[in-house]
């Protein structure tokens, strides 16, 4: 059987199963079983498939994922995030588009303590969107910042998807986590500048709001010091422990989870019921991710045994294209896929081919990984199947149409493309901080 026929069987079967609505993990499992029977030697192949599946989920590099997920679950279920939003509202007073700016700033801080993009969008959308709409904010200026900053959550550590990408692609997890900080903060700053400029040029988009009972002096800063600074310190501990070499990513993630639980307990916001919800949410999300990893790893191995991986890599390299052209093509493929499939599927489909090319071209894997994360972040915002778009529609009032959500997201898609172009043109934006901190 030629590699072309093998590719058609494996990818054709996968597309067909996903088109029928089968969950991604089950689709990969079914294709892997067929591939093992054909390419790995029948019954012996199934035995090897089972061994590979067990090895794929017992990797120590995957253990940060449940800890990072737990940090976000505790943050949201305990209500600590609500107090942080109130603290930002006291500090950010006289600025055009104030509530939208609060959404960006609060979302950036939540990104540094939560590994869940959906949770960030759902929380900010359910809390701030009704208030903004009631005060006459334009729908697009109200929803766009919440959707946009939810995607940035993927770039700023802790990020469960960054850990998953690093594990599947063989990229330094600590380097990848640290490498997303500068692009993530850059995107947040662009969002704030865009909102302030639009609201300043057209005040009707974000009407001024009466500010009553404004705290002054130290009282204005007290909520920030009490409810926000500890969260920032937890982020500093997680990143600092990794970069200083005091802890592995797993140990740093455990410190972060313990710190988040301790903070919620000190705020007297952690009840047994809230903790149980957080633990159940962590188990559900982590279990789903690990089950998908089984499919991803074994799929890559079946592809390799079929000869498709080496043949496709050889076909690309034989064209004599520059590394810039090849990387540009990879990014274009990822942006296209992001419009139609979820982020985990993007990794599963592309990494078996992309990483051998990255290695052969001598490309910095952290730089490539950060660009991969930006492309996945764009996929969260691009119609027709952007996950955060549907999350926003789910928490928005009934008067908000899906077309309104799509239009709200487009400027932030543009900023994401701009950030991708900058990182592509200037690799130190992604690699400088990891090298400086030794990640």
**Is residue 143 very low, low, confident or very high in pLDDT (cuts 50, 70, 90)?**
very high
Higher pLDDT, 189 or 2: 189
The residue with tokens 């603290």 is 87
State the Cα–Cα distance between residues 212 and 351, nearest whole angstrom: 54
**pLDDT average, residue stretch 328-349:** 82
Among residues 393, 380, 317, 411, the alpha carbon closest in space to that of 152 is found at 380
**Is residue 187 very low, low, confident or very high in pLDDT (cuts 50, 70, 90)?**
very high
The HSE-up count of residue 7 (CA atoms within 13 Å, CB side) is 14
**pLDDT average, residue stretch 215-235:** 80
pLDDT at 100 over 80: yes
State the pLDDT at residue 317.
66
Token digits for 412?
């932030």
**pLDDT average, residue stretch 214-238:** 80
Q: Which of 105-119, 277-291, 423-437 has the highest mean pLDDT?
A: 423-437
pLDDT at 122 over 70: yes
Token digits for 53?
């599946």
pLDDT at 61 over 70: no
- In the chain, the largest separation of any two C-alpha atoms, in whole Å, equals 76
CA distances in angstroms from 361 to 29, 169, 310, 430, listed in the order given: 31, 15, 14, 18
CB atoms within 10 A of CB 159: 26
Token digits for 23?
């969950």
**pLDDT average, residue stretch 143-162:** 85
DSSP 396: S
The HSE-up count of residue 28 (CA atoms within 13 Å, CB side) is 24
- 21 by Cβ neighbours in 10 Å (0-12 / 13-18 / 19+) ranks as exposed
Token digits for 340?
């139609």
State the Cα–Cα distance between residues 38 and 14, nearest whole angstrom: 15
Region of residue 400 (left: phi > 0; alpha: psi -120 to 50; beta: else) = beta
Range scoring the smallest mean pLDDT among 38-47, 157-166, 352-361: 38-47
Coil vs helix vs strand at 266: helix
pLDDT at 75 over 90: no
**pLDDT average, residue stretch 50-74:** 76
State the Cα–Cα distance between residues 294 and 53, nearest whole angstrom: 5
CB atoms within 10 A of CB 318: 8
The residue with tokens 């279990």 is 287
Higher pLDDT, 201 or 339: 201
DSSP 382: S
CA distances in angstroms from 223 to 82, 209, 226, 261, 264, listed in the order given: 12, 21, 5, 19, 15
DSSP per-residue string spanning 231-254: HHHHHHHHHHHHHTTSS-HHHHHH
Q: What is the mean pLDDT of the chain?
A: 82
**pLDDT average, residue stretch 270-298:** 79
Write out pLDDT tens, residues 163-176. 888 888 888 888 89
Are 64 and 250 contacting, i.e. CB atoms less than 8 angstroms apart?
yes
Angle between helices 64-77 and 249-266 (to 10 degrees): 20
The domains of the chain are located at 3-437
**Is residue 15 very low, low, confident or very high in pLDDT (cuts 50, 70, 90)?**
confident
pLDDT at 369 over 90: yes
**pLDDT average, residue stretch 54-74:** 76
Among residues 104, 68, 72, the alpha carbon closest in space to that of 85 is found at 104
pLDDT at 337 over 70: yes
State the pLDDT at residue 313.
63
**pLDDT average, residue stretch 283-300:** 73
**Is residue 212 very low, low, confident or very high in pLDDT (cuts 50, 70, 90)?**
low
pLDDT at 439 over 60: no
pLDDT at 121 over 70: yes
Among residues 305, 322, 313, the alpha carbon closest in space to that of 37 is found at 305
**Is residue 217 very low, low, confident or very high in pLDDT (cuts 50, 70, 90)?**
low
Coil vs helix vs strand at 322: coil
Nearest-10 Cα torsion for 398, 92, 222, 265: 30
State the pLDDT at residue 213.
59
Range scoring the smallest mean pLDDT among 4-13, 85-94, 125-134, 208-217: 208-217
Write out pLDDT tens, residues 298-326. 776 676 667 666 676 676 667 777 888 88
pLDDT at 155 over 80: yes
């Amino acid at each position: 059987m030629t590699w072309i026929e093998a590719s058609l069987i494996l990818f054709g079967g996968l597309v067909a199963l996903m088109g029928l609505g089968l969950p991604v993990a089950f689709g990969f499992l079914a294709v892997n079983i067929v591939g093992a029977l054909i390419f790995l030697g029948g019954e012996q192949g199934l035995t090897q498939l089972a061994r590979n599946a067990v090895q794929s989920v017992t990797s120590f590099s995957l253990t940060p994922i449940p800890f990072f997920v737990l940090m976000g679950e505790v943050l949201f279920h305990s209500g600590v995030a609500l107090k942080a939003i109130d603290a930002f509202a006291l500090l950010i007073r006289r600025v055009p588009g104030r509530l939208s700016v609060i959404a960006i700033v609060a979302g950036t801080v939540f990104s540094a303590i939560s590994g869940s993009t959906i949770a960030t969008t759902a929380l900010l959308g359910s809390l701030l969107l009704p208030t903004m709409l009631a005060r006459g904010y334009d729908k697009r200026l109200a929803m766009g910042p919440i959707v946009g900053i939810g995607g940035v959550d993927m770039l700023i550590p802790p990020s469960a998807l960054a850990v998953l990408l690093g594990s599947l692609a063989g990229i330094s997890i600590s380097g990848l986590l640290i490498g997303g900080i500068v692009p993530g903060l850059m995107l947040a700053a662009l969002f704030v500048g865009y909102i302030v400029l639009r609201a300043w040029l057209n005040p009707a988009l974000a009407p001024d709001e009466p500010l009553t009972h404004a705290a002054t002096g130290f009282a204005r800063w007290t909520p920030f010091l009490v409810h926000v600074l500890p969260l920032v310190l937890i982020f500093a501990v997680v990143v600092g422990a990794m970069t200083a070499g005091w802890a592995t990513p797993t140990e740093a993630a455990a410190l972060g989870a313990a710190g988040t639980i301790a903070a919620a307990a000190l705020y007297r916001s952690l009840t047994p019921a809230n903790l149980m919800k957080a633990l159940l949410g962590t188990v559900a999300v982590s279990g789903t991710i690990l089950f998908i990893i089984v499919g991803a790893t074994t799929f890559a191995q079946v592809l390799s045994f079929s000869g498709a991986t080496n043949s496709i890599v050889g076909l690309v390299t034989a064209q004599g294209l520059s590394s810039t052209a090849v990387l540009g093509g990879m990014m274009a493929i990822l942006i296209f896929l992001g419009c139609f499939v979820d982020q985990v599927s993007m990794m599963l489909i592309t990494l078996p081919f992309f990483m051998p090319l990255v290695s052969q071209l001598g490309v910095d894997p952290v730089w490539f990984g950060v660009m991969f994360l930006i492309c996945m972040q764009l996929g969260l915002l691009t119609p027709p199947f952007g996950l955060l778009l549907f999350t926003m529609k789910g928490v928005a009032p009934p008067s908000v149409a899906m077309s309104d959500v799509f239009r709200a997201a487009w400027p932030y898609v543009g900023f994401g493309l701009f950030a991708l172009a900058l990182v592509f043109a200037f690799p130190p934006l992604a690699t400088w901080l990891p090298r400086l901190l030794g990640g």
